[in-house]
Chains A and B, each alone.
Chain A
Amino acid sequence: MPEMKQTEILVVGGGPAGLCAAAAAAQLGASVLILERDSKPGGQLVKQTHKFFGSKKQYAGDRGIHIGDFLLEQVETNPKVEVWPDTTCLGIYEDGVVTAEKDNKHIKIKPERVIVATGAAEKALMFPNNDLPGIYGAGAVQTLMNVAGVVPGKRVLMVGAGNIGLIVSYQLLQAGVEVAAVIEAAPKIGGYLVHASKIRRAGVPILTSHTVKEAYGDKTLEGAVIWQLDENWQPIPGTEQDIKVDVMCLAVGLSPLTELCWQAGCQMKYVAELSGHVPVRNEYLETTRPGLYVAGDVSGVEEASSAMVEGRLAGVSAALSLGYGKDTAPQLQAEALAELNELRSGPAGEKTMKGILKLMGKEGAAC
């Protein structure tokens, strides 16, 4: 291995956005290196056993696990793409050098363009005894079940009725684990209602306007006390319910994993609709640091379908900026933008649309 690894485009993160970015850039002729922290690229797709929404262009109807395999095969069979699994990106420096840890070695990379597709991390929730063993993030439970084949326990309380909470509840049922209830602090179910109906008709109650008062247990989780919230999100004394569970699963949202963007000096902006601080970027996903692009949840938490399209857009844009695909790239960019617009144009995408307008300083502009 040379002292300084050269590549035209470096993709940080081998999830749906990163893999699509790499495939799109390589198809136009650019050489790409993907860094993936995990031993198997695919990001969250490796544990998503449910079928995806969207349209054919985003592999709708296929299961996440199969989409992950397909995207990986697409990059692995392209000689222009190199994939480094078990590699953690450590920093992006002023001189354009990117450092990473691989096989216990500190490695330097000199890319001409960088696409940051690091995804998002799960949020935690504050309540007494939230550190008891048995309290997990929903992503951890999904990994345990669907990647490692280990059930997390016998009876679960799911906290959060967004898509992740609803989908992981369904997958727990499929694994033969009882789901005592899904609770949601908001007055409405946040995830797709078809997911909610699926677990409801399997007998799982969904309690909106409910949150955790406290967890309890001697050495591990033995149960949780939940209570109802009023319209001002204040707990209503006397509504407590004791639920005996050995697992609590937190699915209370995600935060963009933006450390590399901060460190690279990208201008950042707090946009609640995009789930936190995100890098300011243009239509083609280039940040304020020239040559550094973002794609997927790192630039605002959304569904995997839009992450894949964003990846494609960033990959094409980065390759075009290096002189590849001058005749075809503008068309590909236009197609990706149209797809994103389509995916976000309904009520489910309203929040994202609003967030992007804020991010790009166009709050006043019409949608």
Chain B
Amino acid sequence: MLIKTGIPTAEDLSKVYPSEERMLKGPVAIIECFQKIPCNPCTEACKQGAILPMKDINDVPEMDFDKCNGCGVCISRCPGLAIFIVDRSYSEKEAIVRIPYEFVPLPEVGQKVACLNRAGEEVGQFEVKKVVSGGKKNMTYTVWLAVPQELCMEVRNIRLGGVLHGE
């Protein structure tokens, strides 16, 4: 259960997923934000009008998936790092998953990195296609990953190693 483990359940996720048909059309934002908290920067980030204005700042975000063009501006603007873009139109076998990333070192384009699911378990090593800065002030990067189609709703993080102060 999300409130006990931090891992959203299939039921939680089913509430925020676009239709299969929309997914296959091209990149679309998936907002994995399930709790009513006072927060609304996503609604202001979206210039397409796809993230609907909130009546109450405590509302959970609501999307009009047909208006979303997958621009991804919202990824680095969400303070909770809860927005991902999935593009299933990328190729027959692979989809692109764009994730927010705030760790050093940054992955390099072409590098194969350990991809993790929502529980932090490695589900495979896949290629980084793009690394985009959110800007000097924003400081959140967006990492584009090419993952097998069947894992596009699983991969939500990467692990690179980097500086570890352990052994």
Interface, chain A (partner B; CB < 8 A) = 50-56, 60-63, 66, 151, 153-155, 173-178, 187-189, 192-204, 206, 208, 305, 342-349
Q: Which residues of B contact A346 (CB under 8 A)?
A: 36-38, 56-58
A345 to B36, CA, bound (A): 10
Q: Which residues of A contact B58 (CB under 8 A)?
A: 345-349
Inter-subunit contact A55/B57 (CB<8 Å): yes
Nearest CB in chain A: distance from B167 CB, A: 8
Inter-subunit contact B162/A342 (CB<8 Å): no
Tell me, yes or no, whether B109 is within 8 Å of chain A by CB.
no
**Which of A153, A193, A206, A347 has the most B CB atoms < 10 Å from its CB?**
A193
Tell me, yes or no, whether B66 is within 8 Å of chain A by CB.
no
Inter-subunit contact B156/A173 (CB<8 Å): no
Inter-subunit contact A176/B81 (CB<8 Å): no
Nearest CB in chain B: distance from A136 CB, A: 15
Q: Which residues of B contact A349 (CB under 8 A)?
A: 38, 58
A320 to B73, CA, bound (A): 42
Q: Which residues of B contact A188 (CB under 8 A)?
A: 3-4
Stretch at the interface among B88-96, B115-123, B144-152: B115-123
Inter-subunit contact B116/A347 (CB<8 Å): no
**Which residues of chain B from 64 to 121 have a CB within 8 Å of any chain A CB?**
77-82, 102-104, 116-121
> How many A-B pairs with Cβ below 8 Å?
145
Inter-subunit contact B165/A151 (CB<8 Å): yes
Tell me, yes or no, whether B142 is within 8 Å of chain A by CB.
no
Contact partner of A195 (CB less than 8 A), chosen from B4, B80, B138, is B80
Q: A348: nearest residue on chain B (CB-CB)? A: B37
Inter-subunit contact B120/A53 (CB<8 Å): no
Inter-subunit contact A200/B6 (CB<8 Å): yes
Inter-subunit contact A198/B57 (CB<8 Å): no
Q: 1/0 per residue B19-33: CB within 8 Å of A?
A: 000000000000011
Inter-subunit contact B32/A343 (CB<8 Å): no
Count B interface residues, CB 8 Å. 50
Nearest CB in chain A: distance from B67 CB, A: 21
Q: A190: nearest residue on chain B (CB-CB)? A: B3
**Which residues of chain B from 116 to 138 have a CB within 8 Å of any chain A CB?**
116-121, 137-138
A200 to B104, CA, bound (A): 18
Inter-subunit contact B38/A305 (CB<8 Å): yes
Q: Which residues of A contact B102 (CB under 8 A)?
A: 174
Inter-subunit contact B6/A345 (CB<8 Å): no
Tell me, yes or no, whether B34 is within 8 Å of chain A by CB.
yes
Contact partner of A202 (CB less than 8 A), chosen from B36, B77, B157, is B157
Tell me, yes or no, whether B50 is within 8 Å of chain A by CB.
no
Nearest CB in chain B: distance from A185 CB, A: 13
Q: Which residues of A contact B38 (CB under 8 A)?
A: 53-55, 305, 342-346, 348-349
Q: Which residues of B contact A348 (CB under 8 A)?
A: 35-38, 58
Inter-subunit contact B4/A51 (CB<8 Å): no
A2 to B167, CA, bound (A): 58
Contact A176 B163, CB 8 Å, known A189-B4, A193-B3: yes
Nearest CB in chain B: distance from A354 CB, A: 16
Inter-subunit contact A61/B79 (CB<8 Å): yes
Inter-subunit contact B166/A201 (CB<8 Å): no
Nearest CB in chain A: distance from B10 CB, A: 15
Contact partner of B39 (CB less than 8 A), chosen from A60, A176, A178, is A60
Q: A52: nearest residue on chain B (CB-CB)? A: B79
Contact partner of B79 (CB less than 8 A), chosen from A50, A56, A154, A176, is A50
Contact A61 B41, CB 8 Å, known A192-B80, A200-B6: yes
